[in-house]
Amino acid sequence: MTDNTGNGNSGTPPGWYPDGQGNTRWWDGSSWSEATQGVGATPPGGAPQAPTAAMQPKNTKAEGKAAKAYAKASRPWFKKKRWWLAGGVLILIIAIAAGGSGGGDDDNTANDDNGSSSTENSTPDAEAPSEGDEPEPEPEPEPEPEPEPEPELTASQENAIEAAENYLSFAGFSKKGLIRQLSSPAGDNYPKADAVFAVNQLDVDWREEAVESAEQYLEFTSFSRDGLIQQLTSSAGDMYTLAEAEYAADKVGL
């Protein structure tokens, strides 16, 4: 041991030795400790005494680590991290195994379905025609008849149609009365055939024409029901049919 105490070899036994600063310091046999005491402060009994825990400086960091290690070792097994890790690995292995088993079932089901479809497709259809039988051709639809072309009108026919439309625009006429007006020498003097052709080309409600004629008669004179019907149906009058004249009398309130 070499220091300021004067002890010069390393075989010096442990004990309190002067440190040259008025105190004694504990020598543990190989190195100096931090424990000191006053010179002459010998423990009872006169024998040197090793420094107690209160006399030695505390290593707070080392004591903290030791406390943590002890607490960790004292925890129950189910609170230790390694057991949770092992449990997680075990659950993962079980899930993978279950998934693989389910996939196999689906594959087997799909294979069974494919096999059934193949069997159905490979079964010959008893109702299918043989190769030698030719299907009967479907009958072709009959062509629709072409519309008849409109006849080309002569100048006399065109004029007769125009004259008939003019008469109907300001007065009521029966069909026979309009033909008579167009073909009469006292009227337009068209040929009878052209007059009939012209009237047949018109789209006319002759019952409404009878109502219009009845209203015109009642505007300038009075008529009984029978008198009005006679005037409308007379060959010297308007030449409406009896049904048309009665319809007109009903409409005007007679």
Query: For 11-56, what is each residue's pLDDT tens digit?
Result: 778 888 887 777 888 888 888 887 887 766 555 444 455 555 544 4
Task: State the pLDDT at residue 249.
Answer: 94
- Residues 21 and 4: their CA atoms lie apart, in Å, by 9
Give the per-residue pLDDT at 74.
Answer: 59
Q: What is the pLDDT of residue 251?
A: 92
Please tell me the least confidently modeled range out of 93-97, 123-127, 173-177, 207-211. 123-127
Q: What tokens appear for 224 in the block?
A: 């009984």
CA atoms within 13 A on the CB side of 134: 3
Asked whether the predicted pLDDT for residue 223 surpasses 70, the reply is: yes
pTM score, whole prediction:
0.41
Most confident of 49-63, 66-80, 221-235: 221-235
Confidence (pLDDT) at 241: 94
Q: What is the pLDDT of residue 47?
A: 47
Asked if residue 253 has pLDDT above 80, the reply is yes
* Distance between CA atoms of residues 170 and 24, nearest Å: 153
pLDDT of 180: 93
Q: Kindly report the average pLDDT of the chain as a whole number.
A: 75
User: Is it the case that residue 230 has pLDDT exceeding 90?
Assistant: yes
* Per-residue pLDDT tens over the stretch 113-167: 555 555 555 555 555 556 656 777 888 888 888 777 766 889 999 999 999 999 9
Q: Do 211 and 247 meet the contact criterion of CB atoms below 8 Å apart?
A: yes
Task: Using the predicted structure, report yes or no on whether residue 186 has a pLDDT greater than 80.
Answer: yes
DSSP 8-state class, residue 13: P
DSSP secondary structure, 141-201, as one string:
PPPPPPPPPPPPPPHHHHHHHHHHHHHHHHS---HHHHHHHHH-TTTT---HHHHHHHHHT
